[in-house]
Amino acid sequence: MAQNKWEDTVVLGNTAAARLTIDALPGPFRFAPAHTALVMIDMQRDFIEPGGFGASLGNDVSRLAPVVPAAAALIAWCRANGVLVVHTKECHRPDLSDCPPAKLRRGKPSLRIGDVGPMGRLLVAGEPGSDIVAAVAPVAGEIVIDKPGKGMFWATGLHETLQARGITHLVFTGVTTEVCVQTSMREANDRGYDGLLVEDGTESYFPEFKAATLAMIAAQGAIVGWHAPSSAVLGALRGTLPGA
Ligand code: C5J
């Protein structure tokens, strides 16, 4: 018989929800799946595939591919068990009215935001490059937000949406670790969410930046949050719910 790993309950408003513990750094991450969302940051073709925005900046985009299986395993579990899934997409309106000139000018890319590349206009909503890769593409009922900034709360209304659903904890996956993922996690931290970053569910074009981000997040007693491998996240859930 599967051992029940539910540890206790957390009471929010008038409802009580079972709470689990994940072995994480810098210490145990305690969360109630009913009040938790899985966040997939910018798992877009523009960052992960050749010919997109990431490649236009001179990056080796093949470095991001390993993130997909872990993200897919987590999303499958969340779908099977009714855990909310949030997808973000970094992209702009076709007229670029939501793209600050400073962002547009930044760097020395081969193409700029809005220019036409092999997957359509770079980082523009509705273009093929802005699509989320097929393995983790959203399904009906999941939240999908277009974000003009690196962080998921800036100009998106996401905080209000999560508050309305009673979400208190966020499990982060996505790309790239030190840019949109870390920015989103820090924004979440400032808004009172407890966040955990899935180590093999996030990647950077720069391995040293990923390592530094993980260290920074967990430092000083989880100053930004926690991190753990996907095996620890899924392991904590195994045997607790049907389909785990
Ligand atoms: C970047 C992102 N790296 N999604 N965006 O520009 O991390």
Separation of 215 CA from ligand 1 center, angstroms?
19
Residue 135 and residue 130: Cα distance in Å, rounded? 15
- Residue 77 sits at the vertex; the CA angle it makes with 76 and 81, to the nearest 5 degrees, is 120
Phi-psi region of 174 (alpha: psi -120 to 50; beta: other; left: phi over 0): left
**Residue 3 Cα to ligand 1 middle (Å):** 41
Handedness of CA 172, 186, 41, 202 (dihedral sign): negative
Q: Where are the alpha helices (DSSP H) in 132-206?
A: 158-164, 182-190
Give the residue, out of 179, 182, 184, 202, with the most ligand 1 atoms within 8 A of its beta carbon, to mutate for a pocket test. 179
Please report the pLDDT score of residue 195 as a whole number. 98
Spatial contact of 226 and 214, defined as CB atoms under 8 Å apart? no
User: pLDDT tens digits for 185-243?
Assistant: 999 999 999 999 999 999 999 999 999 999 999 999 999 999 999 999 998 876 555 44
Which atom of ligand 1 is the closest one to the Cα of 179?
7
| Long-range residue pairs from 113-119, CB within 8 A, at least 24 positions apart, any chain | 113/53, 115/56, 117/51, 117/52, 117/53, 117/56, 118/50, 118/51, 119/45, 119/46, 119/49, 119/51, 119/52
* pLDDT band of 11, cuts 50, 70, 90: low
Longest CA–CA span in the chain (Å) reads 60
Q: How far is CA 92 from CA 47, 79, 137, 145, 225, in A?
A: 15, 28, 19, 11, 29
Task: Report the nearest atom of ligand 1 relative to the CA of 41.
Answer: 4
Nearest residue (by CA) to ligand 1, atom 6, is 179
180 is catalytic: yes
Tell me the mean pLDDT in the region 17-34: 92
Nearest residue by C-alpha to atom 2 in ligand 1? 180
pLDDT tens for 111-140 read: 999 999 999 999 999 999 999 999 999 999
Mean pLDDT score, 96-117: 91
Q: Based on the number of CB atoms within 10 Å of its own CB, is 145 exposed (0-12), middle (13-18) or buried (19 or more)?
A: middle
From 42, 61, 181, 213, the mutation candidate for ligand 1 (largest count of ligand atoms within 8 A of CB) is: 42
Distance, in Å, from the CA atom of 19 to the CA atom of 163, rounded to the nearest integer, reads 19
Q: Is pLDDT of 7 > 70?
A: no
Average pLDDT, the chain: 92
82 band by pLDDT with thresholds 50, 70 and 90: confident
Q: How confident is the model at residue 18 (pLDDT cuts 50, 70, 90)?
A: confident
User: Atom 5 in ligand 1: which residue has the minimum CA distance?
Assistant: 180
- The lowest-confidence range among 19-28, 101-110, 173-182, 198-207 is 101-110
pLDDT score recorded for residue 8: 61
Is this prediction's pTM over 0.85?
yes
